A and B are shown apart, each in its own frame.
Chain A
Amino acid sequence: MTAAAADALPPIPHAGPARLVTRVVRWDASEIVCEGRIPAPGPWVRDGRCPAFVLLELAAQAAAALDALQASATSRGSAGERRAAGPGSIVRVRDLGLSRPTVAPGRLLRAQVTRGAAAPPLFMFAVRVDDDGGQELMRAELALHIAGEP
C-alpha cells in the first residue's frame, strides 16, 4: 500500500451540497474506499428519497480523490502537501446497475473504486457503492476526464 489515509478529507474540488464523499477510509495505488452521504435537504432529494443513480457521483468523487492522492504521493515534496484535484468530469458510463430505484438520504454509504486503464486525461474505474450494512446499491464502470492541477 502506498499510503493509508484514514480520516483524511478527500482532496477534491467539490463544495457544499455537491460534496458527497466525506472521508477516505483507505487507499493504495489501485483502489480507494471512501465514505459519504447524500445530503438532505439537497438538490438530489425529492419527497424524502434520492434516485439511486446519484450514487454514481459519490463513486466519481472517490475516483477523483484516488487520482489526486496518488498524484500527491508520487510528486510530494518535502512539505508533504497533498495536491487537490482540478475539476474532473464523468464522460462515460457503462453497465450501471442499481439494486433499487431510490435510496434514503443521510445514510452512511461506502464507495469502493478500482483503477482501470488510463489514457490521460481519461481514467477508467470500476466502482461499487454499498449501504452501511454492506449491501450493494450500485455498480458501474466509469471514465473520468481529470484535468489535473488547476
Chain B
Amino acid sequence: MDDFEVLGFSAAEKSMEVSLGASSRFFAGHFPDHPVLPAIAHLVLVDTLVKRCLGEGAGIIAVERARWLRPVPPGTRLRVRLTEARDPAQMRFAIDGDEERVSEGLLTWRAPGPE
C-alpha cells in the first residue's frame, strides 16, 4: 500500500515514523468535506509495524482496548511505537503526532504462520 510513506523505522525501538499525505486513500470519502484519518487506519499503521518487527505473517488478532484521542488530518507525520506488555502475547501501542498522542491501546498479536 502506498497510502503512507515510511520515513523511518527502528526494529530495536519497535518504532516507525510515517507521513500521511492528502492523496492517501485512507482519507478518500472519510469524510468528503472534512478529511480525517479513520480509526482503522491507525490500526493499519500499528499492524504494519508489527509485521516489520515480527515478520510479514504476524499481525493483530485482538484489541483488548484502544482509544483515539484526537483527529488526524491529511499532511500529518506520526510516530508509531510498540512496547512490551505484561502478557508476552500482547503489546501496547501508541501513535503520536508532532506534539500530542493521537491513539493508544493494548493488542494481541499472532506469530507468523498459516491462518
Contact = CB atoms under 8 A, between A and B. Distances in A.
Q: Is the pairing of A and B real?
A: yes
Given A16-B28, A43-B1, A91 B62 contact: no
Given A15-B29, A15-B32, A95-B64, A56 B40 contact: yes
Interface stretch (B10-18, B65-73, B77-85, B89-97): B65-73
B44 interface: yes
A14 to B, nearest CB: 6
Interface in B46-74: 47, 59-69, 71
B60 A51 contact: yes
A102 B115 CA distance: 8
Interface residues of A, number: 32
Contacts of B39: 56-57, 60, 89-90, 93
Contacts of A53: 40, 43, 47, 60, 63
Contacts, number: 92
A44 B36 contact: no
B63 A93 contact: yes
Given A97-B62, A101-B59, A102-B115, A16 B29 contact: yes
The 7 lowest CB-CB distance pairs between A and B, nearest first, are: A18-B29, A16-B29, A43-B25, A15-B29, A90-B39, A18-B30, A96-B63
Interface of B: 1, 3, 24-26, 28-32, 34, 36, 38-41, 43-44, 47, 59-69, 71, 105, 110, 115
